Homo-oligomer: A and B are copies of this chain.
Amino acid sequence: VGRPKFTSDRMYEVTPPGVIMGLAWTAMGGSALYIETVLKRPVDLTNDKDGSIETTGNLGDVMKESVRTALTVAKGILAREQPDNKFFDKAHIHIHVPEGATPKDGPSAGVTLVSSLLSLALDRPVVQDMAMTGEISLTGKVLPVGGIREKVIAARRVGAKRVFLPNENRRDFDDLPEFMKSELDIRFVSHYDELYEHLFQ
């Protein structure tokens, strides 16, 4: 059947600022899917040129749009939390999704993308052993995604402790057998703010 789609499930023992563990769902089953976000150069707030965003990782059109949606959401949250922080105006940001040969698409990494952007902007690593999945709307609503069963199995396998799922997927989770649900701290969210308050510390 060929090699598995994602070969290195737990890529990070500890995630640095800008890196978030998401969950993917492929024909091969679920897997951890990291979003890596880094600065292409130090931020120069005195520069009058605008920042930029670059994406790599064999992303399809829907996922590329999801990056742009996530950026607007992250900007809005940073503007609310730190009104004087001009990071997103000036930063030259690169978002990569390993592994580069594996095509990835769909909107379900929305919350993961927002989180990676905020983690980079604030230069803070997020709470470890946390995974997440969910489409993001432009106002921060978290919309349901597919593959809950496969993603929960993957989260257990890679040792995630807390998993954020869209509230509208609650029934998909409830339908799983008990042994799959034990030991995981599942948090259902309907708006990104409910996730954000658990992102750091």
A89 within 8 A of B: yes
Q: Does A96 contact B138, Cβ atoms closer than 8 Å?
A: yes
Please name the residue on chain B nearest to A88 by beta carbon: B41
Q: Does B138 contact A38, Cβ atoms closer than 8 Å?
A: yes
A72 in contact with B8 given A58-B65, A138-B94 (CB within 8 Å) = no
Besides A38-B72, A66-B100, 11 other CB < 8 A contacts?
A3-B146, A36-B137, A37-B138, A38-B76, A41-B79, A57-B65, A58-B61, A58-B62, A69-B96, A98-B138, A101-B106
Q: Which residues of A contact B (CB under 8 A)?
A: 3, 7-8, 11-12, 16, 18-19, 34, 36-42, 54, 56-58, 61-62, 65-66, 68-69, 72, 75-76, 79, 88-89, 94-96, 98-101, 106-107, 110, 135, 137-139, 141, 143-144, 146, 168
